């Protein structure tokens, strides 16, 4: 595993930065590498990413998530290619320090990325800076998912925790 | 126009060894062969290349989910889907001349295949009381006749409105609205006979009526159970998902009384390895279980898991999940620990070692999915069996996480959607309240009739009017002789259909055939070209739009027929905009969007590529079962006692068959050719019963009511089905399924566990197949 870690300070409160981060489907708006995201469930996402001529698709599971604090993911597949953690910490001036720590396996397409010295760090840092420009420019989040995830199992936030939201009568 | 077969095909049985792999090049060849027999190369191209594509036709063949937009093959269909779609796109036509030369009494003697092969219905026809012929009738007169019959009922509950899963959401919504505005909840559907048990078990334990998995979950599972299902013939596109799962390292355990080809190996015709290579092995482990032994099997597995936890405390069960998200664990555990091993082994026909090997597979797996179909749902103890699957999943937290979950594999393409929009005889008050708010009338609250109770009510003279929205109720229903007598006792029967079937020939005193557009055809209404919407097994709601010129200019869409009938029958009360519904299906969807949770902004969202994904609340930790937690349950039940000299029969469909419609008399995966009147029996049972390969027998049902139910003139085929079990095709053997033999709670006919004896026929030589 190759590990990269990057931190960027963002001039919005933790809640705003965190909320925006949960809106995975709009990542293609501000990133260079993410082309498409499907949110299958709160804990399961499908990503299409491209870096130069390399294009790949993977599904990721969010294993742990705590509002305004952190999110832990791992890619799914025969040999998981990467896993990581994003943390959101308040800064002294009311902003947010967003840290991405990412472990890349030396195999598959993520392995190609990992094989080039300094490239993974540069890519992660670049994307973090784009996130910073995006949310600072918006000034407010475009949406939020405030639930929690423990052991890969999502729980909705309390006010809507017990509401189905879809038909739940028996289907024959 | 292609010519329909004039005579029944000659019945000549040939048997070859069962196949050990499914699909491959032969699947493509057979699909094309059948398609080109039915229709032209141009129409075949049009249907197949738009099938299951964004903006194209949703294949009516099954409810399996499509890959996400951008990930679909150019040819995103299976052999059976191709056959099905071109069976509808056929250029053969049934005209008024046909009915002039074929009396109803003659048609009632014809086979299902022959009736289907006559082609598409082209104009409305009526059989008047006392007449033996259908004759043309204008739409206006047909609808007036039906409205008059409805007006003449003593109560709206003397009318029944049956839905088959071919109907799209809009037609289904309109039908239930009409029935409820008329004043009845008599809305049986084909779901009553296929996955009703799944709905009841899942709703009670998890608070959802639907499966909890997506294709991604299957792709990333470590271990997949395929229990009581035959994907090779009934859901072939599931094999692609299983292939992907295998590529990602999954193990698969198949549990079935028959070692079906699709459970063993898949040759994907879209890949070089499937064309010239060996394909993909599907099942890593095959459990040759007895019919109905699945509850015992999963109780055995669950007991072993509890004992593994005893040996390694804290390492086997997901204690956090059990503590925080479930209820009933202690009671369940105490019960399962007490289940006797000798009963488990007898019920399953498996060895303890085989079940312990499954336990070891489970212990090595973090992500487990259980898939099942009608091999599970059509038993008396189906609901407890599925609840036990849920127990199994809950024990190690295999619910609500990526790569885990419950996957009832549905057969009919929109059974799930029809239920979502209100086709159910027991809809909850919340839905009926929403209808009242939206349309300003108070829907009836008393539960209506399901399929079995409809037949009982017909027999008791309490149903006089039957309308079928698609489907073939007479052949899908159990106890054929009883059902046919019941249907014939109705004053009026009417069917909205694309092709001829036995429900048109076994009919009421007055009978109407109302020909309708198929999925493949253009549907043009006053506001322009329309599409309909459907929901697949994985809760994705999307559009379906045909491209072909309709089979006849006189065809009306299902929605148009129902809206026109509702206008006439209800006379403007309550005030429902039936004309606007017919002119623009978007208006129907607007109303649905205000009534059905999760379908908000229906029109806007459903036209996006991929459509609407209805979330499953279980995947967000929400259990709407009244307890607020997933429920462990204590389950009992077993297959019927089989006296010595008897077998436990399951009915099943052949590879060349779609629901009640056989396309040919072949079933090539099982090595059966030229005849459907076969009974598959374990070779040891054949010997023990004193029979021989090819011996002619009658299948005689044994049931508590003492009535002799007999399916005549079948040939014995020695086959590797589980000991003590037998299998034969439906609908030919539906005659053996007693109307009163139903699953506990769900009231679903028990078509997979019928006690029969095989009576050798005097006209068949005792020791050879050669006749």
**What is B71-85 written as a DSSP string?**
S--SS---HHHHHHH
Q: What single DSSP character describes residue B64?
A: P
Indicate whether A155 belongs to any domain: no
What is the rounded distance in angstroms from the CA atom of residue B232 to the CA atom of residue B235?
A: 6
In this complex, the residue of B189, B216, B624 whose CB is nearest that of residue A172 is B189
What is the pLDDT, as a whole number, of residue A112? 66
Radius of gyration of chain B (CA): 25
What is the pLDDT, as a whole number, of residue A53? 85
B257 vs B36 pLDDT, higher one: B257
Is pLDDT above 90 for B652? yes
CA angle centred on B635, ends B634 and B638, rounded to 5°: 160
Are the C-beta atoms of B89 and B520 separated by less than 8 Å? yes
- Asked if A152 is an interface residue toward chain B (Cβ–Cβ < 8 A), one would say yes
A11–chain B nearest CA distance, Å: 32
Q: Which of A100-109, A149-158, B70-79 tops mean pLDDT?
A: A149-158
Q: What is the residue-averaged pLDDT of chain B?
A: 94
Task: Tell me the helices (H) and strands (E) count for chain B, helix number first.
Answer: 33, 33
Least confident interval from B32-36, B183-187, B348-352, B568-572: B32-36
A153-158: long-range pairs with CB below 8 Å, 24+? A153/A43, A153/B321, A153/B325, A153/B397, A153/B400, A153/B401, A153/B621, A154/A41, A154/A42, A154/A43, A154/A62, A154/A65, A154/B400, A154/B619, A154/B620, A154/B621, A155/B620, A155/B621, A156/B620, A156/B621, A156/B622, A157/A67
What is the pLDDT, as a whole number, of residue B77? 82
- Interchain proximity A154–B621, CB inside 8 Å: yes
What is the rounded distance in angstroms from the CA atom of residue A4 to the CA atom of residue A104?
A: 8
Is pLDDT above 50 for B771? no
- Asked if A143 is an interface residue toward chain B (Cβ–Cβ < 8 A), one would say no
Residue indicated by tokens 């799962």: B245
B37 vs B659 pLDDT, higher one: B659
Q: Which of A162, A168, A172 would best serve as a mutation to test chain B binding (most B beta carbons within 10 A)?
A: A172
B439 vs B4 pLDDT, higher one: B439
- Interchain proximity B620–A155, CB inside 8 Å: yes
Crossing angle between the packed helical segments B41-50 and B79-88, to the nearest 10 degrees: 120
Query: Each residue of B290-347: pLDDT tens digit?
Result: 999 999 999 999 999 999 999 999 999 999 999 999 999 999 999 999 999 999 999 9
Domain count, chain A: 1
Contacts of B209 in chain A (CB under 8 A): 167-171
3-state secondary structure of B312: coil
ipTM over 0.85: yes
- Sheet strand arrangement including B223-227: B285-288, B251-256, B223-227, B368-372, B405-408
What is the pLDDT, as a whole number, of residue B767? 64
What is the rounded distance in angstroms from the CA atom of residue B85 to the CA atom of residue B44?
A: 9
What is the rounded distance in angstroms from the CA atom of residue B198 to the CA atom of residue B183?
A: 29
What is the pLDDT, as a whole number, of residue A114? 67
What is the rounded distance in angstroms from the CA atom of residue B62 to the CA atom of residue B165?
A: 9
Residues pairing with A57 in the sheet: A48
Contacts of B196 in chain A (CB under 8 A): 170, 172
Mean pLDDT of B456-477: 97
- Asked if A159 is an interface residue toward chain B (Cβ–Cβ < 8 A), one would say no
What is the rounded distance in angstroms from the CA atom of residue B541 to the CA atom of residue B522?
A: 20
3-state secondary structure of B682: coil
What CATH number does the domain containing A124 carry?
3.30.530.20
A155–chain B nearest CA distance, Å: 5
What is the pLDDT, as a whole number, of residue A108? 66
Which tokens go with B225? 């159970």
B401 vs B49 pLDDT, higher one: B401
What is the pLDDT, as a whole number, of residue B768? 55
Torsion sign over Cα B599, B605, B611, B615: negative
B411–chain A nearest CA distance, Å: 10
Torsion sign over Cα B306, B308, B309, B314: negative
With 0-12 / 13-18 / 19 or more C-beta atoms within 10 angstroms meaning exposed / middle / buried, residue B706 is exposed
Indicate whether A170 belongs to any domain: no
Which tokens go with B342? 């000798």
Q: Length of chain B, please?
A: 771
What is the rounded distance in angstroms from the CA atom of residue B448 to the CA atom of residue B192?
A: 13
Residue indicated by tokens 């489970």: B362
In this complex, the residue of B214, B401, B597 whose CB is nearest that of residue A167 is B597
B190–chain A nearest CA distance, Å: 8
Query: Each residue of B232-251: pLDDT tens digit?
Result: 888 888 999 999 999 999 99
3-state secondary structure of B280: strand
DSSP secondary structure, B222-237, as one string: SEEEEES--HHHH-HH
Are the C-beta atoms of B427 and B550 separated by less than 8 Å? no
Are the C-beta atoms of B2 and B704 separated by less than 8 Å? no
What is the rounded distance in angstroms from the CA atom of residue A82 to the CA atom of residue B565?
A: 60
Q: Which helix (H) or strand (E) holds B112?
A: helix B112-117
Number of Cβ within 10 Å of residue B462's Cβ equals 16
Query: Each residue of B97-132: pLDDT tens digit?
Result: 999 999 999 999 999 999 999 999 999 999 999 999
3-state SS of B554-611 is CCECHHHHHHHHHHHHHCCCCCCCHHHHHHCHHHHHHHHHHHCCCCCCHHHHHCCCCC
Q: Which helix (H) or strand (E) holds B452?
A: helix B451-459
- The residue of chain A nearest to residue B614, with distances taken between CA atoms, is A166
CB under 8 Å to B407, separation ≥6 — which residues? Answer: B211, B212, B213, B218, B369, B370, B371, B372, B537
Indicate whether A167 belongs to any domain: no
What is the rounded distance in angstroms from the CA atom of residue A35 to the CA atom of residue B453?
A: 54
Indicate whether A151 belongs to any domain: no
DSSP secondary structure, B135-200, as one string: EE--HHHHHHHHHHHHHTSSSGGGEEEEE-TTS-HHHHHHHHHHHHHHT-----BTHHHHTHHHHH
Indicate whether A165 belongs to any domain: no
Contacts of B192 in chain A (CB under 8 A): 172
In this complex, the residue of A36, A77, A171 whose CB is nearest that of residue B191 is A171
Instruction: Provide, for chain B, the percentages of residues in helix, strand and coil under a 3-state DSSP scheme, each rounded to the nearest 5.
Output: 40, 20, 45
Query: Domains of chain B (ranges plus CATH)?
Result: 24-88 (no CATH), 93-193+418-536+557-607 (3.40.50.740), 196-408 (3.40.228.10), 647-760 (2.40.40.20)
- B725-729 and B647-652: which strand pairing? parallel
What is the rounded distance in angstroms from the CA atom of residue B698 to the CA atom of residue B336?
A: 40
Nearest to B629, CA basis, from B332, B367, B394: B394
- The residue of chain A nearest to residue B214, with distances taken between CA atoms, is A40
Domain limits for position A48: 2-138
Mean pLDDT of B51-64: 85
Q: How would you classify residue A75: left for phi > 0, otherwise alpha for psi between -120 and 50, otherwise beta?
A: beta
Are the C-beta atoms of B158 and B460 separated by less than 8 Å? no
Q: What is the residue-averaged pLDDT of chain A?
A: 91
B10–chain A nearest CA distance, Å: 37
Query: Each residue of B140-162: pLDDT tens digit?
Result: 999 999 999 999 999 999 999 99
Indicate whether A101 belongs to any domain: yes
- Interchain proximity B216–A44, CB inside 8 Å: yes
Residues pairing with A38 in the sheet: A46
- Asked if A111 is an interface residue toward chain B (Cβ–Cβ < 8 A), one would say no
Are the C-beta atoms of B679 and B693 separated by less than 8 Å? no
A10–chain B nearest CA distance, Å: 30
Contacts of B372 in chain A (CB under 8 A): none
B692 vs B274 pLDDT, higher one: B692
B600-608: long-range pairs with CB below 8 Å, 24+? B602/B533, B606/B533, B606/B541, B606/B542, B606/B543, B607/B543
Nearest to B213, CA basis, from A161, A44, A155, A119: A44
Q: Length of chain A, please?
A: 172
Indicate whether A163 belongs to any domain: no
- Cα B226–chain centre separation: 16
With 0-12 / 13-18 / 19 or more C-beta atoms within 10 angstroms meaning exposed / middle / buried, residue B419 is buried
What is the rounded distance in angstroms from the CA atom of residue B182 to the CA atom of residue B435?
A: 13
Radius of gyration of chain A (CA): 17
Number of Cβ within 10 Å of residue B285's Cβ equals 15
Question: Is residue B770 very low, low, confident or very high in pLDDT (cuts 50, 70, 90)?
Answer: very low
Q: How would you classify residue B23: left for phi > 0, otherwise alpha for psi between -120 and 50, otherwise beta?
A: left
- The residue of chain A nearest to residue B194, with distances taken between CA atoms, is A172
Indicate whether A143 belongs to any domain: no
Contacts of A44 in chain B (CB under 8 A): 214, 216-217, 402
A–B: how many Cβ contacts below 8 A?
148
């Amino acid at each position: 595993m190759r590990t990269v870690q990057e931190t960027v300070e963002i001039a919005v409160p933790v809640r705003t930065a965190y909320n925006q981060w949960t809106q995975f489907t709009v990542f293609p708006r501000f990133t260079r590498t993410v082309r498409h995201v499907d949110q299958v469930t709160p804990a399961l996402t499908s990503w299409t990413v491209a870096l130069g001529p390399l294009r790949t698709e993977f599904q990721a599971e969010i294993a742990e998530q705590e509002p305004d604090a952190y999110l832990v993911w791992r890619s799914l597949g025969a040999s998981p290619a990467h896993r990581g953690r994003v943390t959101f910490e308040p800064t002294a001036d009311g902003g947010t320090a967003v840290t991405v720590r990412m472990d890349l396996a030396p195999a598959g397409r993520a392995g190609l990325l990992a094989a080039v010295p300094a490239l993974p760090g540069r890519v992660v840092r670049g994307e973090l800076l784009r996130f910073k420009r995006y949310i600072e420019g918006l000034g407010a989040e475009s949406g939020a998912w405030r639930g929690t995830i423990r052991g890969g199992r999502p729980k909705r936030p309390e006010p809507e925790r017990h509401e189905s939201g879809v038909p739940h009568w028996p289907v024959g | 126009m292609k010519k329909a077969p004039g005579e029944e095909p000659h019945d000549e049985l040939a048997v070859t060894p069962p196949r050990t792999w499914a699909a491959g090049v032969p699947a493509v060849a057979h699909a094309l062969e059948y398609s080109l027999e039915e229709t032209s190369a141009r129409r075949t191209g049009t249907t197949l290349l738009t099938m299951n594509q964004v903006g194209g036709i949703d294949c009516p063949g099954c409810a399996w989910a499509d890959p996400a937009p951008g990930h679909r093959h150019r040819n995103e269909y299976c052999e059976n889907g191709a056959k099905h779609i071109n069976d509808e796109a056929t250029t053969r036509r049934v005209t008024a001349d046909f009915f002039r030369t074929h009396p109803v009494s003659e048609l009632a003697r014809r086979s299902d295949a022959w009736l289907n092969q006559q082609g598409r219905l082209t104009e409305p026809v009526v059989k008047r009381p006392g007449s033996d012929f259908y004759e043309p009738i204008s739409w206006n007169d047909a609808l007036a006749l039906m409205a008059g019959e409805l007006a003449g009922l003593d109560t709206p509950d003397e009318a029944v409105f049956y839905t088959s899963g071919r109907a799209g959401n809009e037609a289904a919504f309109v039908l239930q609205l009409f029935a409820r505005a008329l004043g009845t909840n008599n809305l049986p559907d084909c779901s009553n006979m296929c996955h009703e048990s799944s709905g009841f078990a899942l709703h009670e334990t998890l608070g959802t009526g639907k499966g909890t998995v997506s294709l991604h979950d299957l792709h990333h599972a470590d271990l997949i159970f395929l229990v009581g299902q035959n994907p090779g013939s009934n859901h072939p596109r599931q094999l692609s998902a299983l292939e992907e799962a295998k590529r990602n390292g999954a193990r698969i355990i198949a549990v079935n009384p028959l070692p079906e080809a699709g459970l063993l190996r898949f040759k994907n015709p879209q890949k070089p390895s499937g064309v010239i290579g060996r394909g993909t092995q599907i099942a890593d482990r095959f459990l040759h279980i007895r019919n109905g032994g699945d509850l015992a099997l999963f109780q055995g597995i669950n007991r072993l898991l509890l004992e593994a936890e005893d040996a390694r405390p804290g390492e086997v069960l997901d204690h956090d999940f059990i503590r925080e998200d479930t209820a009933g664990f202690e009671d369940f555990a105490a019960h399962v620990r007490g289940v006797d091993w000798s009963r488990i082994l007898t019920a399953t026909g498996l060895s303890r070692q085989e079940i312990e090997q499954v336990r070891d597979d489970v212990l090595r797996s973090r992500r487990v999915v259980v898939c099942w179909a009608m091999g599970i749902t059509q038993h008396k103890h189906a609901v407890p069996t599925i609840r036990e699957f849920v127990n199994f999943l809950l024990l190690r937290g295999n619910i609500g996480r990526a790569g885990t979950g419950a996957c009832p594999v549905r057969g009919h393409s929109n059974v799930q959607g029809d239920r979502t929009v209100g086709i159910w005889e027991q809809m909850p008050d919340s839905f009926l309240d929403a209808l009242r708010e939206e349309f300003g009338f108070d829907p009836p609250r008393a539960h209506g009739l399901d399929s079995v109770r409809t037949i009982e009510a017909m027999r008791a003279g309490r149903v006089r009017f039957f309308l079928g929205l698609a489907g073939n109720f007479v052949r899908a229903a159990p106890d054929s002789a009883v059902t046919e007598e019941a249907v014939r006792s109705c004053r009026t029967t009417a069917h909205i259909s694309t092709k001829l079937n036995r429900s048109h020939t076994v009919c009421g005193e007055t009978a109407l055939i109302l020909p309708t557009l198929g999925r493949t055809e253009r549907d043009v209404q006053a506001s322009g070209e329309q599409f309909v919407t459907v929901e697949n097994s994985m809760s994705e709601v999307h559009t379906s739009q045909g491209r072909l010129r309709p089979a006849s200019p006189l065809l009306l869409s299902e929605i148009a027929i129902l809206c026109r009938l509702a206008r006439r029958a209800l006379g403007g009360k309550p005030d429902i905009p039936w004309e606007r519904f017919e002119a623009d299906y978007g208006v129907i969807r607007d109303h649905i969007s205000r009534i059905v949770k999760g379908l908000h902004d229906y029109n806007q969202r459903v036209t996006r590529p991929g459509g609407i994904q209805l979330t499953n609340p279980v995947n967000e930790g929400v259990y709407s079962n009244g307890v607020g937690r997933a429920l462990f349950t204590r389950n009992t039940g077993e297959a019927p006692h089989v006296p010595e000299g008897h077998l436990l029969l399951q009915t099943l469909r052949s590879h060349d068959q779609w629901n009640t419609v056989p396309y040919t008399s072949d079933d090539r995966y099982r090595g059966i050719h030229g005849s459907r009147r076969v009974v598959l029996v374990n070779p040891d049972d054949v010997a023990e019963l004193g029979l021989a390969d090819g011996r002619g027998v009658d299948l005689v049902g044994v049931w508590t009511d003492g009535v002799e139910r007999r399916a005549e003139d079948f040939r014995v085929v020695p086959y590797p089905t589980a000991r003590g079990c037998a299998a034969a095709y439906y609908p030919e053997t539906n005659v053996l399924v007693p109307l009163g033999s139903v699953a506990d709670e769900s009231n679903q006919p028990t078509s997979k566990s019928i006690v029969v004896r095989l009576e050798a026929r005097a006209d068949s030589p005792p020791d050879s197949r050669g006749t």
